[in-house]
A and B are shown apart, each in its own frame.
Chain A
């Protein structure tokens, strides 16, 4: 095996490992979301992660990948349907020295994450059919467009927008879709009183929430470090370092913020703080020094808790705080490189300019802000059109009876926790038959 072959093998293995880690984040989302919602919806909330990833896999393979990375114009890719590769069809990914199938698999994992984030805003009250329709449209008409703008040779990429692993492309997009959904769906039954005061609807299993959060933390090494898509210079190690430092700072900042703000060292707040920090460092992980990663993580972790309380007081029922964790932190992270991007790392990555704090002026800050605004507006408008149309045609929300019964029984016919919830549940006979022995 020569050096070229060895490099290909190592890079391929690394990208495959990254893809597995990021796809593994679906497990984290299943646990996080199921734990953060009620027992009567647990099977549905966890199970829809498989459905979501399956929809994303097919739709992204058929069209999404082509629109994101295919050759086209500054707004969308127009070649490469079903991964059909022609001359320079996927030149936007030519910097990665791995087979196209691996590039697809790795990028698919990101779409899956973005879609999983969006579902947060639908939790506990959306119809199953909406997941099919919106999931497909999101994968082919929303995510790929922003992906193309930033990573596929589009106008934001040309401007030098720094979004290494997708604070905007993956997280902000999912979060904006979640926010639009949660506004159109309205709050869950019982979330707010007549006078507008919010009620506490706790998740049914805080341990699941914590494990889910930790699975996501581990998966993020695939997300960020994996986004180097190469092993040659070991730069993935540096990206992993900034990622981990930010997550740690986010955990500590969020639990301290919760203690200060509401008087309780809230565990779900800490989990969300870790995730917010990871979301924020996703854009910046390859552009900032470790100390800046700590600052970014701490600010995102802290700010996210504050906004989650604020939105709740304003009557927005975002059941698992998807917009705060992924949206607000996505904005914080994307904008952060406009301040913290270090000259040596900008030179290494070859993307954009140094940040304001390094004498780079406001140029990069401006680019980052335009990127955030552009993406947010596009996703908000398209998501609104689609979801509003669905609301007016097939309806977005299950009936009140179904919502009260829970989505496990109303949408799927069986409970995630039958012993606890099914009044007709009977223990099977305890007679030991010969077949059991």
Chain B
């Protein structure tokens, strides 16, 4: 774990993307040689997240310097680069793709020029991140997409639209934003937006049923008598995608719980669960079951990421199989109970 911590300090010394890329590869190498278990998995993710944050921050600093050097547009008085998805939840695996956005603040009269600066900054930021080992988001959830790059007021208007409109995609965008976490720049901008977002969602009653509907899918691939539904055809035959196999369902439910309870600064799924338990939202038994399920999913997810493969059920030990099945059943029950909890 100490070796991972050293990455953070070394990242700050990197002066170009090639060095950062080398460090990113080193993270993967270190983790693959590091023995971790279900029990220390939260610590492993914390250390891993710190490494990713340090690498991304340095890449974004380099991008900022480059835009400043080019002298394009007008630099806004403040801005914040934030991450979403698993990075936002402090649960990134080794190879995680980009999910990011930017919020900035500037004078109204300078807005157009600030956009020129920020677009170039976003372009370079996303490019540098890709160069150092964070692939582009296939769903285009990146700062280069105008949907995720906005000035403060426009962000507020956008959030208002997501909350009040009834477009089918809105709940997905809100779900993405609910995981936002600032990593570079003026953190207060992103935190304020997140606070506003959480308040608006919780205050909008009509969103509740849509939130509940959104956690019903994908189905947890486990059937009666604990039968796990593996991929039937193709090269992934006999495997399951652990992300869709219970992890996503579990974190979706706890995400909406966090939104309803206004746990703005509880980023990880475990932090959300802990806050929920502390506020007597769930019993100790439920807390322990969910914690164990989360440990299981995070452990297998990291293992699959290192092996760059889905999870092959037949290669699991009897104990691992049992543990996975129990975790999947917990995720399935959480989906069922979402109406009660969210």
Chain A residues within 8 Å of B, Cβ to Cβ: 193, 195, 197-200, 259-263, 309
Contact = CB atoms under 8 A, between A and B. Distances in A.
A260 B221 CA distance: 11
A198 B227 contact: no
Interface stretch (B145-153, B177-185, B233-241): B233-241
Nearest to A201: B233
Contacts of B238: 197
Contacts of A199: 233-234
B71 interface: no
Interface of B: 219, 221, 223-224, 227, 229, 232-238
B235 A195 contact: yes
A198 B224 contact: no
B331 to A, nearest CB: 15
A260 B223 contact: yes
Contacts of A198: 232-234, 237
Nearest to B232: A262
B98 to A, nearest CB: 31
A42 B224 CA distance: 38
Nearest to B228: A263
16 contacts: A193-B234, A195-B235, A197-B233, A197-B234, A197-B235, A198-B233, A198-B237, A199-B233, A200-B232, A259-B223, A260-B223, A260-B224, A261-B227, A263-B219, A263-B221, A309-B232
Contacts, number: 30
Contact of A200 (B221, B223, B224, B234): B234
Q: Which of B219, B229, B232 has the most CB of A within 10 A?
A: B232
B45 to A, nearest CB: 29
A314 B166 CA distance: 49
A197 to B, nearest CB: 4
B229 A262 contact: yes
Nearest to B231: A197
Contacts of B235: 193, 195, 197
Contacts of B232: 198, 200, 262, 309
Given A195-B235, A197-B234, 6 more contacts: A197-B235, A198-B237, A200-B232, A200-B233, A263-B223, A263-B229
A200 B233 CA distance: 5
Contacts of B234: 193, 197-200
Question: What is the interface of chain B mostly: helix, strand, loop, or mixed?
Answer: loop
B4 to A, nearest CB: 34
Nearest to A263: B229
Contacts of B221: 263
A193 B234 CA distance: 7
A262 B228 CA distance: 8
Q: Which of B221, B224, B227, B233 has the most CB of A within 10 A?
A: B233
Contacts of A262: 229, 232
A197 B224 contact: no
A78 B282 CA distance: 82
Contacts of A259: 223
Contacts of A195: 235
B227 A260 contact: yes
A194 to B, nearest CB: 9
Contacts of B237: 197-198
A142 B88 CA distance: 69
A259 B229 CA distance: 10
A262 B219 CA distance: 13
Nearest to B234: A199
Contacts of A200: 232-234
Contacts of A197: 233-238
A208 to B, nearest CB: 21
Contacts of A261: 227
Contacts of A260: 223-224, 227
- Give 6 nearest A-B pairs by CB, closest first: A263-B229, A197-B237, A200-B233, A199-B233, A193-B235, A198-B233
A297 to B, nearest CB: 22
Nearest to B221: A263
A352 B229 CA distance: 44
A155 to B, nearest CB: 43
Nearest to A196: B237
A261 B237 CA distance: 14
B78 to A, nearest CB: 50
Contacts of A193: 234-235
B244 to A, nearest CB: 12
A309 B229 CA distance: 13
A311 to B, nearest CB: 13
A199 to B, nearest CB: 5
A197 B221 CA distance: 20
Contacts of A263: 219, 221, 223, 229
A125 B234 CA distance: 21
A226 B221 CA distance: 45
A204 to B, nearest CB: 17
Nearest to B239: A197
A32 B266 CA distance: 56
Contacts of B224: 260
A269 to B, nearest CB: 12
A261 B236 CA distance: 17
Contacts of B236: 197
A195 B309 CA distance: 15
A261 B232 CA distance: 11
A201 to B, nearest CB: 9
Nearest to A200: B233
A268 B233 CA distance: 16
A217 B234 CA distance: 33
A261 B219 CA distance: 15
Contacts of B233: 197-200
Nearest to B222: A263
Nearest to A197: B237
A309 B234 CA distance: 14
A314 to B, nearest CB: 13
A203 to B, nearest CB: 14
A42 to B, nearest CB: 22
Contacts of B229: 262-263
A262 B236 CA distance: 15
Contacts of B227: 260-261
A198 B230 CA distance: 13
Contacts of A309: 232
B237 to A, nearest CB: 4
Q: Which of A195, A197, A260 has the most CB of B within 10 A?
A: A197
B305 to A, nearest CB: 21
B230 to A, nearest CB: 9
Nearest to B233: A200
A352 to B, nearest CB: 38
A261 B230 CA distance: 10
A234 B32 CA distance: 75
Nearest to B230: A262
